[in-house]
Chain A
Amino acid sequence: VWKSRVDKINAEVLTLTYGTIVAQLCRDLTLPATANKTDYAAVNAELDRMGYNIGLRLIEDFLAKSNTGTCSSFRETAEVISKVGFKMFLNVVPQVTNWQGVEGKPQAFGLVFEENPLAEFVEYPDDGRAQDELWYSNILCGVIRGALEMVQMQIEAHFVTDVLRGNDTTEMRVTLVRYIEDEMPPDDE
């Protein structure tokens, strides 16, 4: 459905641009009192924050183009994220796996990426720390967090494995914290 209606961008333009941004963050965000020791925790956090701001806006585009309705369960949400969301914006379908919890209890699932367009031609810095500390594709966690927040779901997302770190898979865990009740903004006049 979306194939014909959605403008596409060359995958390598995206890959190179994202890689350049991550590299720049690694240069910019350094540990206190060091000249060039990257603070990878800060890089991860900044990528997540950038993604969050994208997600807040992207959900609108997603709803407008995908024509999906309200999900009846978190399980369905997971399927829609994978098969519609990722398919639409990155043209990949991560596998929904490792389901935990039941309806009404804390629920979590994994997204396993067999392909990750962001992570092509990537070489980690050779500083002995990046391999253990950097989550290269962390922007995706923020995107999901921001997008779901706009449809009344507070979630927590983080990567648990990444082939770039030498793991066998690339997996993100997404945990439902709570459904957000409609409430008035605190200082709305």
Chain B
Amino acid sequence: SASGATGAEAAQAGSITSLGFPAMDESTREGVFFRLDGLGYRVGQGLVERFSANKPRPTTPLDAIKFICKDLWILVFRKQIDNLKTNHRGIFVLTDNRFQPLSRMSVDRRAGPKAAEEAIARAQTYLYFPCGMIRGALSGLGIEATVEASSIEMPMATFQIKTKGAKP
């Protein structure tokens, strides 16, 4: 496949990050995403099963998203989501200004802009599990969605949730 080829090229080029670690090629990254997202999905489902039992069932997607922002986030990361935006047509953007898994990561500032870029690429891996967890939790609340996460600057993290049938 195409991604396999890029993977092989990257491995041949032997690209190394500024910290001396081999850079993760695209196919490895996909594999890591698939695995961690899947694990997160199951954990999210389990948590919703356990912790939404005594709460009124969310009747709208927004209610379900609020459950994620407050209850689930406090349970897992001990704080709430800082900002929730929605276009009211099925897309939700959750921002955590100090996302716990990224909160103690550092960037080697001496190595210049490339180092910051690499650090964010490394940090990206830590967003896959929470993505799956949100997806699993929503599925437990009866909502099908896709979730993508990104970090523009650590320790901030943004999760974009597209529910099924969402319009941009």
Contact = CB atoms under 8 A, between A and B. Distances in A.
B50 A23 contact: no
Contacts of B76: 10, 13
Interface in B4-62: 35, 38-39, 42-43, 46-47, 50-51
A10 B75 contact: yes
A24 B75 contact: no
B35 A16 contact: no
Contacts of A23: 42
A21 interface: yes
A13 B137 CA distance: 13
Consensus secondary structure, chain B interface: helix
Interface of B: 35, 38-39, 42-43, 46-47, 50-51, 75-76, 78
A16 B47 contact: yes
Contacts of B47: 12-13, 16
A91 B35 CA distance: 29
B75 A13 contact: yes
Contact of B39 (A12, A13, A24): A24
Contacts, number: 27
A17 interface: yes
Interface in A1-26: 7, 10, 12-13, 16-17, 19-21, 23-24
A12 B46 CA distance: 9
B137 to A, nearest CB: 12
Contacts of B38: 24
Given A16-B50, A21-B39, 10 more contacts: A10-B76, A12-B47, A13-B76, A16-B42, A16-B43, A16-B46, A17-B39, A19-B46, A20-B46, A24-B39
A16 B51 CA distance: 13
A20 B42 contact: yes
Contacts of A19: 46
B43 A24 contact: no
Closest 6 CB pairs of A and B: A16-B46, A20-B42, A16-B43, A20-B39, A10-B75, A17-B43
A120 to B, nearest CB: 10
Q: Which of A10, A17, A20 gathers the greatest number of chain B CB atoms within 10 Å? A: A20
Contacts of A16: 42-43, 46-47, 50
A24 B40 CA distance: 11
Q: Which of B38, B39, B43, B75 gathers the greatest number of chain A CB atoms within 10 Å? A: B43
A83 B85 CA distance: 47
A121 to B, nearest CB: 8
A7 B104 CA distance: 13
Interface string A20-58: 110110000000000000000000000000000000000
A129 B35 CA distance: 25
Given A10-B76, A13-B75, A17-B43, A24 B35 contact: yes
Q: Which of A7, A12, A19 gathers the greatest number of chain B CB atoms within 10 Å? A: A12
Q: Which of B42, B75, B76 gathers the greatest number of chain A CB atoms within 10 Å? A: B42
A94 B83 CA distance: 43
Q: Which of A7, A10, A24 gathers the greatest number of chain B CB atoms within 10 Å? A: A10
